[in-house]
Structure 1
Amino acid sequence: MIWALVLVAVVLALPFLREALRPRMTDADRQSAPGQFARLSQGVTHYRWQGPEGGPVAVCVHGLTTPSFVWRGVAEELAAKGVRVLSYDLYGRGYSDRPKGAQDSAFFLRQLQDLLADQQVGDGFTLIGYSMGGSISAAFAAAHPGRLKRLILLAPAGMQPLSGAVARVVLGVPFFGDWLMLTMFPRRHRKGTDAERGLPTSVPGIVDLQQGELHWRGFVPAVLSSLRHMLSTVLEGEHRAIAAAGLPVLAIWGAEDRTIPIRDKAVLEDWNPDAHHVVIDGAGHGVTYTHAGEVLAAIRS
């Protein structure tokens, strides 16, 4: 009986121990990063400017698991067209810090507002959000529509609540949900990204880069916190506020997206009838890097 209890305790403790033994991101690790770093109110944020100074500014916000390198192909082409592109790593990802706390809308908006102030980004810029970055961007646009020239959303989250039995346990059950996430997510993340190895990409080595995030302490807890807080929120009020403000919105969808399904397009059409939509045939959720050319064509048009 005692040995059975010990075995159960070991099984329960192992995922937390494995997470605690992962290395922290340090200044030495950041030496190979492209771009620069800003010490903001919640921690260090990695950011990168591309494109000519004086060009129209576009700020890019990435999604749940893939840091700012997801924008590499899109940002390079926009920069080549004269756009001044600012991309950055959300807290818990890439080269940015892993601060504790609920990763909700206020958490991410504070990081974005801090970075805009630090980099002296004025009004009239374009905000581009991908997946969860679409939720963050919509929340910012609803709160500050006068600051933006336009809002561009790529496979945006926030149209539907997270569903499924596993999701309900992970999101709603303390400790056991954490244990389940630490146990299951790394394997699922590797499996999901490995499935894209044969796809074309504008980001060389993106699968290895995505899987490399699992090496660092704080990545999986950050993903869990975002699922529990940012991605558990439906943004109907925000999108209706954006529509009422008259802010131009372009939404780009992948026809074969299983993460943010194409049926969510109808939801956004209901909330914001004036939004313009582009559907890219054959594209899944990785539309930002698997179909960068089509994304850029949609943005240019």
Structure 2
Amino acid sequence: MLPRRKAGLATSSLSPKSALAGVSASEVESLPYPPDVLPGGRDVPTSYGSIRVFEWGPENGQQVLLVHGISTPAIALGDLAHELVGRGYRVMLFDLFGRGYSDAPNDLPYDVRLYVTQILLVVASSRISWTHFHLVGYSLGGCLSVSFARYFPHRLASLNLIAGGGLIRPYHVGWKSKLLYNSGLLPEWLVRYLVKRRNRPVEKLPIAASPTDIVAAESKMQPGNGDASGGTGFDAASISKYRPGVTVSSVVAWQLDHHLGFVNAFLSTIRTAHIYSPQADWRVLGSILAARRRSSADGTILAPGLEKGKVLLVLGSDDPVIVSDETIPDAKEVLGEDAVECVVLTGGHEIPITMSTEVASVLDAFWTADKELEVQG
């Protein structure tokens, strides 16, 4: 267990890595999220704070950047990254600001401007050129990836959203969430206390019942009645097949205890990031994709990036956060009927964590012309 630290007044809260000095190697290895649990780890210094980045795989392989969700750091996509490397891809993933081993700016809103800038900083940190890569966004990472694609479509070989946010219908937000995050009626110290409490696993209940990811999104079965996490399967899921005893909830609890910037990052993201519909970035992206498809059809010069003119959606059939029956028609409406390819896997919000092999196969098929993609929805 790392020593607890008191919050300071610096413009950036340091990540838990700053507390590892003097901690034995065995203790570090026993953490829910050791800093070197994935290959190719590095710390990237920036004016916003340090960013933890992992990069490995064949240098001549197609490049894939993975962006994780609101509460689980890069380790949540570690198995998926390993699967893609096994298929010959070069992968890079990183901890969003305020998560894992990335520092947390205290003087900025956690909106798409910050996160899009972070993606640029991450790809620029590589010793090899990342100018044409597949972008894979999971949960919160999905809506952040849409924003990046809007402004930098020429950098992307493809855009792929796994249980991606951005189109959650507003009716899923109940009165408790509105009161907590957006009302302005509660003092900020109380809001932070309640947010931390809601993210912490409840010891007297099964670990699967504890709230973690996108707590403001509510179950489709109980609109307006109470918060829901990614579902029981998500909360209790092993974070990796290489670490079967470590659950998603235990990683979130570790961040709550040891990352001084996590609560602020989580709260600010809920308030300012583009999680709920409607979102202008999606409509602009729809125009960009339509232009690519028209160019392909009439033989005119094709603008670089997103050459297929399509986005891949990979969804869980039982996901209570990103509801497939809502997301598929909403995505087609805003992006265009021909701009979306959808695959629905049997599972919940945890599909890229627990079904990494299946998700990797779907991604590989979408990226590889000679493989068949089974499209549903």
Q: TM-score, normalised on structure 2?
A: 0.69
Question: How many angstroms apart in 2 are the aligned matches of 1:59 and 1:235?
Answer: 26
Is contact 2:52–2:102 with CA below 8 Å preserved after alignment?
Answer: yes
Question: How many angstroms apart in 1 are the aligned matches of 2:6 and 2:333?
Answer: 42
2:183 is the counterpart of 1:173:
yes
Partner of 1:255: 317
Partner of 1:118: 125
Is contact 2:75–2:239 with CA below 8 Å preserved after alignment?
Answer: no
Question: How many angstroms apart in 2 are the aligned matches of 1:92 and 1:157?
Answer: 19
What is the one-letter code of the residue matched to 1:260? I
Is contact 2:317–2:344 with CA below 8 Å preserved after alignment?
Answer: yes
Task: Flag the 1:20–1:238 CA change in 2: closer, same or farther, 3 A.
Answer: same
Deviations 1:181-212 (A, max 9, x none): 42254344421369446656644213322321
The structure whose residues are more often helix, as a share, is 1
3-state SS of the aligned residue for 2:312? strand
What is the one-letter code of the residue matched to 1:243? G
| Structure 1 position 229, deviation (Å) | 0.4
Question: How many angstroms apart in 2 are the aligned matches of 1:167 and 1:188?
Answer: 13
| Structure 1 position 232, deviation (Å) | 5.1
2:346 is the counterpart of 1:278:
no
| Structure 1 position 292, deviation (Å) | 1.4
Question: How many angstroms apart in 2 are the aligned matches of 1:183 and 1:171?
Answer: 10
3-state SS of the aligned residue for 1:149? strand
Is contact 2:97–2:103 with CA below 8 Å preserved after alignment?
Answer: yes
What is the one-letter code of the residue matched to 2:109? A
What is the one-letter code of the residue matched to 2:139? S
Deviations 1:198-240 (A, max 9, x none): 6566442133223211112121121001000004553643223
Task: Flag the 1:177–1:258 CA change in 2: closer, same or farther, 3 A.
Answer: farther
Is contact 1:171–1:177 with CA below 8 Å preserved after alignment?
Answer: no
Question: How many angstroms apart in 2 are the aligned matches of 1:113 and 1:241?
Answer: 20
Partner of 1:12: none
Could you tell me which of 87, 101, 112 is aligned with 1:105? Answer: 112
Deviations 1:7-38 (A, max 9, x none): xxxxxxxxxxx984999634353885121110
| Structure 1 position 173, deviation (Å) | 3.4
Question: How many angstroms apart in 1 are the aligned matches of 2:196 and 2:18?
Answer: 27
Is contact 2:15–2:101 with CA below 8 Å preserved after alignment?
Answer: no
Identity %: 28
Partner of 2:263: 220
Bigger mean CA deviation after superposition, 39-48 or 259-268: 259-268
Partner of 1:6: none
Partner of 1:206: 247
Q: TM-score, normalised on structure 1?
A: 0.85
Question: How many angstroms apart in 2 are the aligned matches of 1:200 and 1:255?
Answer: 19
| Structure 1 position 266, deviation (Å) | 1.5
2:352 is the counterpart of 1:288:
yes
Pairwise mapping of residues 66-215 of structure 1 onto structure 2 (< 5 A)?
66-100=72-106, 101-119=108-126, 121-160=129-168, 161=170, 163-174=173-184, 175-176=186-187, 179-190=190-201, 191-192=210-211, 195-196=232-233, 199=237, 202-203=240-241, 204=243, 205-207=246-248, 208-215=250-257
Is contact 2:62–2:88 with CA below 8 Å preserved after alignment?
Answer: yes
What is the one-letter code of the residue matched to 1:88? F
Question: How many angstroms apart in 1 are the aligned matches of 2:251 and 2:236?
Answer: 15
3-state SS of the aligned residue for 2:277? coil
2:329 is the counterpart of 1:266:
yes
Task: Flag the 1:177–1:19 CA change in 2: closer, same or farther, 3 A.
Answer: farther
What is the one-letter code of the residue matched to 1:234? S
| Structure 1 position 107, deviation (Å) | 0.9
Runs (5+) with no aligned partner, structure 1: 1-17
What is the one-letter code of the residue matched to 1:299? L
Deviations 1:250-290 (A, max 9, x none): 11011111112221221111112221001112x11111102
Bigger mean CA deviation after superposition, 199-208 or 129-138: 199-208
Partner of 2:18: 27
What is the one-letter code of the residue matched to 1:268? A
Could you tell me which of 40, 49, 56 is aligned with 1:43? Answer: 49
3-state SS of the aligned residue for 2:104? coil
Is contact 2:65–2:133 with CA below 8 Å preserved after alignment?
Answer: yes
Is contact 2:15–2:102 with CA below 8 Å preserved after alignment?
Answer: no
What is the one-letter code of the residue matched to 1:176? P
Question: How many angstroms apart in 1 are the aligned matches of 2:96 and 2:165?
Answer: 16
3-state SS of the aligned residue for 1:251? strand
